[in-house]
Amino acid sequence: MQLFPKKSLWGIGFAILRILLFTYVGFGMVLYTLQDTYLFYPPMTPMEECAELPNARIIAAEGTRAYVIESGSSTKLAVIYHGNAERACDSVYLVHWLTLYGYNVLAVEYSGYAGDQSKKPSVELLLRDTEHMNAWAKKKEYTELLIIGRSIGTGFASYHAALASPQKLLLISPFDTLSRVAQGHYPVYPVSPLLKIELDNIANASLAKEVLLIHGTEDEIIPIERGRSLFDQLPQAEKSFITISGHAHDDVLGTAESWSAIRSFLQ
């Protein structure tokens, strides 16, 4: 005995299909509208509350904030763009190393992070932060420039490299393009046309003279394939790709191998 007439079964099928289609389109619209909310996770502890950097002073360049840690009379500058869900204060593990190698340090804070409740972070705003930091550094006339980025910060570090053509660019857990990372997290959507602003590290990082990439093999946030793709397409003769076996996104610097590579890169 047939429980539903044939016509009713077709009607039920089309009704389910319509629900799935509306759900798909609706969530796609949410992704497009709120993509910066999905992308950025800003901690709100104020910049002033950073006991880890007692010798730092806070500057503001066109509204973009950063810590400055000076290293005597050195004319070398290292600029740090931190990862997501971090503050510039969390870059202390790099700051200590950089000062040992004679670098002044500019640890950039992002709009909408670290107590900044005047705006919400977006790719557009953070690219503007990068432009402000580049202009500030150029006025200081440093003779050597090192730019460092971690995770999402590799997008802004690479953009800074495109503006300044630094001697060295260090990218930790990097990606080739933001759209390809997002595509991996949302495979059922055509991410590229939904993305408001692209971060193309392939094009931007190409203007640095020497590049070091470090990536964990077990990274699930930015898979190592994205870092490898970036490395393979960079044109520099002086480039290195260090893979940290068995380590993920957040612990990739927790090995002697990664710090040995950084130490050699800084010398």
Q: What is the CATH number of the domain that holds 187?
A: 3.40.50.1820
Instruction: Examine residue 186 and state whether it is found in any structural domain, yes or no.
Output: yes
Per-residue pLDDT, averaged over 143-147, amounts to 97
Of 131, 127, 116, whose CA–CA distance to 153 is shortest? 127
Print the domain residue range for 204.
Answer: 40-266
Terminal Cα-to-Cα distance of the chain (whole angstroms) = 82
Query: What is the C-alpha to C-alpha distance for residues 36 and 45, in angstroms, rounded to an integer?
Result: 20
Instruction: Examine residue 30 and state whether it is found in any structural domain, yes or no.
Output: no
| Residue 224, pLDDT score | 98
User: 51 versus 20: which is more confidently predicted?
Assistant: 51
Q: What percent of the chain has pLDDT over 90?
A: 77
Instruction: Examine residue 81 and state whether it is found in any structural domain, yes or no.
Output: yes
| Residue 37, pLDDT score | 85
With bands split at pLDDT 50, 70 and 90, how would you rate the model's confidence at 4? very low
Instruction: Examine residue 5 and state whether it is found in any structural domain, yes or no.
Output: no
Beta-bridged to residue 239, according to DSSP, are 211
53: left (phi over 0), alpha (psi -120 to 50) or beta: beta
Report how many domains make up the chain: 1
Instruction: Examine residue 247 and state whether it is found in any structural domain, yes or no.
Output: yes
With bands split at pLDDT 50, 70 and 90, how would you rate the model's confidence at 165? very high
Instruction: Examine residue 172 and state whether it is found in any structural domain, yes or no.
Output: yes
Q: Which of 9-13, 69-73, 141-145, 148-152 has the lowest mean pLDDT?
A: 9-13
Instruction: Examine residue 237 and state whether it is found in any structural domain, yes or no.
Output: yes
Residue at token pair 């969390």: 90
Supply the mean pLDDT for the chain. 91
Per-residue pLDDT, averaged over 23-34, amounts to 64
Contact status, residue 179 vs residue 198, Cβ threshold 8 Å: yes
User: 49 versus 22: which is more confidently predicted?
Assistant: 49
Q: What is the pLDDT of residues 172-225, one digit of tens each?
A: 999 999 999 999 977 877 878 878 899 999 999 999 999 999 999 999 999 999
Q: How many residues does the chain have?
A: 267
**CB atoms inside a 10 Å sphere around CB 79:** 28
Query: What is the C-alpha to C-alpha distance for residues 53 and 45, in angstroms, rounded to an integer?
Result: 14
pTM above 0.85, yes or no: yes
Instruction: Examine residue 20 and state whether it is found in any structural domain, yes or no.
Output: no
